[in-house]
């Protein structure tokens, strides 16, 4: 029995060891026609009996497989561990552009067959030589993008940003997608730019928190690393020729230092690379905006796109003075964040509250998509059977160039008379029988108590008492308002005093995030520190916290113009650093130091 357990244990260990072996495919994501690449299959053991690989579609096999092995030993707390691997490498020549799948490899380890996964690879057309800078044909790999011209200059063909719009002719309120796309053959360390004010457009940014991710694209005969820098949804607010102005960008680029002395570099006195600056400008664009057809329907909601509407009433049977809910849902795609609520008429003696609006839309390339929910609360005051008119929603469809009217079915409600209200006071009796929105009020039916009119009220003690009482109430109200104003001033002063402490706390949190390399949370916390300090110090509400308001408030408080510009510069740098390629650690350190310094300078100045 003991022998059986030992054999069984060895079998389990051997079986688990075989299952633990893996084959990993290592290959580039993209290459170009005529380029040689290496494809490797790495097995995490050297006990390999055989390897079989499928056909390399789109490639010519030049050589392979060549093998290389690697072993390592490690001792921790007296325990020694050993690891080894065997790598099979194939040299391929890309011969035809297109999208291909690299085949899986199967290897035999201790009699067991193990397979790798497959991988996608893109073959781009061959690049044409860069005549402007004297460079050779550019490879789409990351190493080729680090090359630069020998005169330290980066040409407009090596680095540029395009501005494109999805449509050039639209109607008012019809969505237009504006895209800024980066094309680069060089290594960008930092890229900064600011969207200008757009006259005549309502602007919404798409994917503002998305990180830049380079993809490769064949453009004008060369293979570029590309990335979407920013995308905006534009809704024209007026007709005519509207202009999207040019945008200026400042780029810092890492290039080869051709004048570097090899001896200086060897002894730590020089660098193989250097940073150069370049300005990039996008062309201005024009959008031809057509006015909406006239005459516009009376109940036009301002919505432009394609929509549908549903409506529900719950409950349909209730008692007087109980609340019911009417829900209208507008679904579709278009300028949904700018449209008005559907129109409906309620019976006159219904008490109706303003609708609660719930936005469940997401911005897409063709406008906001989803639905907007409008919840009405209605209270019938009297019993009876009521009909609520169908809800109506009018929008403009730019595809058919016609106005469309959507209507729900009419809603019916059966209202039972509510519980009789106690007649303890005449006021409650009146509320029970009064018809709202009517000029007929409660009529008292019992015998009137008629008294003889007495002249001479003016100057009596009763008159003087009422006059003195009103005067006392006036001064009491005045004193209350004065005390409230003083309390509000104290709150503003306290908020300003703790502005520095709040900013310091946020910067401490940002420092911790910096050490953890959490870039997204770091930049968000630094922005909160910068904006929160100014909001607390200058008593600016978050709804009015814009760049123009901040600049004006700082200037009004006598802050030096140079310091204001430094503050705005740090704010913009922090905003754009999240999307800039390069060394994230160096950028985060620089942003942190700049934010700390400018908050400290503002605190001293204010």
| 362, 383, 416 - which closes a domain | 416
Statement to judge: residues 332 and 387 lie in one domain: yes
Confidence tier at 136 by pLDDT (50, 70, 90): very low
CA dist list (Å): 144 to 31, 130, 224, 225, 413: 11, 13, 10, 10, 73
Q: For residue 598, give the CATH number of its domain.
A: 1.20.120
| Closest to 116 in 3D by CA, of 41, 168, 180 | 41
Q: Is residue 231 part of a domain?
A: yes
For the full predicted model, state whether its pTM sits above 0.85. no
pLDDT at res. 225: 87
**Which residues of 207-247 form beta strands (DSSP E)?**
215-219, 222-236, 240-244
- Same domain? For 156 and 284 the reply is yes
Per-residue model confidence as pLDDT tens digits over 434-472: 334 444 444 555 555 555 555 566 667 877 888 788 888
Which residue in 206, 44, 59, 221 sits closest to 128, CA to CA?
221
Residues of the domain holding 539: 496-605
Cβ pair 48, 36 in contact under 8 A: no
Q: What is the CATH number of the domain that holds 381?
A: 2.60.40.740
89-115: pLDDT as tens digits = 989 888 888 888 888 888 888 778 888
Residues 68 and 104 grouped into a single domain: yes
Residue (of 461, 538, 433, 551) closest to 493 by Cα position: 538
Cβ-contact 242, 122 below 8 angstroms: no
Angle made by CA atoms 227, 230, 233, in degrees to the nearest 5: 135
Domain count, the chain: 4
Residues 593, 524, single domain; the answer is: yes
Q: What is the pLDDT of residues 369-386, one digit of tens each?
A: 999 999 999 999 889 999
Mean pLDDT rounded to a whole number for the chain: 79
Do the domain assignments include residue 581? yes
């Amino acid at each position: 029995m003991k022998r059986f357990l030992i054999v069984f244990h060895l079998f389990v260990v051997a079986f688990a060891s075989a299952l633990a072996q893996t084959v990993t495919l290592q290959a580039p994501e993209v290459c170009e026609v005529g380029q040689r690449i290496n494809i490797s299959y790495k097995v995490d053991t050297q006990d390999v009996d055989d390897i079989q690989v499928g056909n390399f579609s789109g490639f010519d096999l030049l050589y392979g497989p060549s093998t290389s092995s690697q072993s390592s030993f490690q001792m921790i707390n007296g325990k020694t561990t050993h690891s080894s691997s065997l790598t099979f490498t194939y040299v391929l020549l890309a011969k035809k552009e297109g999208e291909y799948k690299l085949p899986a490899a199967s290897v035999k380890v201790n009699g067991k067959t193990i397979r790798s996964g497959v991988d996608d690879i893109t073959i781009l057309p061959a690049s044409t030589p860069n005549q402007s800078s004297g460079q050779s044909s550019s490879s789409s790999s990351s190493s080729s993008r680090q090359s630069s011209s020998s005169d330290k200059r980066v040409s407009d063909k090596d680095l540029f940003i395009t501005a494109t719009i999805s449509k050039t002719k639209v109607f008012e309120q019809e969505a237009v997608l504006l895209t800024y796309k980066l094309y680069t053959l060089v290594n960008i360390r930092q890229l900064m730019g600011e969207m200008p004010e757009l006259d005549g457009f309502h602007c919404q940014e798409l994917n503002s928190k998305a990180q830049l991710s380079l993809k490769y694209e064949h453009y004008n005969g060369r293979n570029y690393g590309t990335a979407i820098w920013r995308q905006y949804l534009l809704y024209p607010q007026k007709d005519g020729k509207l202009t999207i102005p040019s945008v200026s960008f400042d780029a810092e680029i890492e290039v080869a230092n051709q004048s570097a002395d090899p001896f200086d570099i060897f002894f730590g006195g020089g660098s193989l690379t250097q940073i150069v600056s370049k300005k990039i400008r996008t062309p201005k664009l024009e959008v031809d905006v057509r006015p909406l057809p006239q005459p516009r329907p009376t109940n036009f909601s301002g919505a432009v796109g394609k929509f549908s509407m549903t409506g529900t009433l719950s409950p349909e049977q209730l008692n007087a003075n109980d609340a019911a809910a009417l829900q209208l849902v507008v679904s579709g795609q278009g300028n949904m964040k700018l449209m008005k609520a559907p129109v409906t008429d309620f019976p006159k003696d219904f008490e109706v509250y303003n609708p609660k609006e719930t936005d469940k839309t997401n911005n897409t390339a063709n406008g906001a998509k989803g639905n907007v929910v409008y919840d009405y609360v209605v209270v019938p005051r009297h019993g009876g059977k009521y009909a609520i008119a169908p809800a109506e929603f009018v929008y403009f469809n730019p595809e058919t160039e016609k106005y469309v009217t959507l209507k729900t079915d009419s809603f019916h409600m059966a209202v039972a008379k509510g519980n009789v209200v106690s007649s303890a006071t005449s006021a409650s009796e009146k509320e029970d029988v009064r018809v709202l929105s009517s000029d007929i009020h409660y009529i008292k039916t019992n015998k009137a108590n008629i008294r003889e009119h007495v002249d001479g009220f003016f100057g009596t003690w009763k008159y003087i008492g009422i006059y003195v009482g009103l005067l006392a109430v006036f001064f009491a109200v005045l004193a209350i308002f004065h005390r409230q104003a003083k309390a509000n001033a104290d709150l503003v002063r306290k908020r300003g005093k703790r502005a520095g402490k709040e900013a310091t706390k946020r910067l401490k949190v940002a420092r911790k995030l910096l050490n953890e390399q959490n870039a997204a949370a770091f930049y968000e916390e630094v922005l909160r520190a910068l904006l929160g300090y100014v909001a607390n110090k200058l008593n600016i509400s978050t709804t009015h916290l814009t760049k123009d308001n901040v600049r004006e408030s700082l200037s009004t408080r006598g802050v030096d113009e140079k310091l204001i510009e430094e503050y705005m510069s740090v704010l913009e740098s922090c905003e754009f650093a999240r999307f800039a390629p390069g060394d994230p650690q160096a950028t985060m350190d620089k942003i942190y130091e700049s934010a700390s310094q400018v908050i400290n300078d503002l605190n001293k100045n204010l």
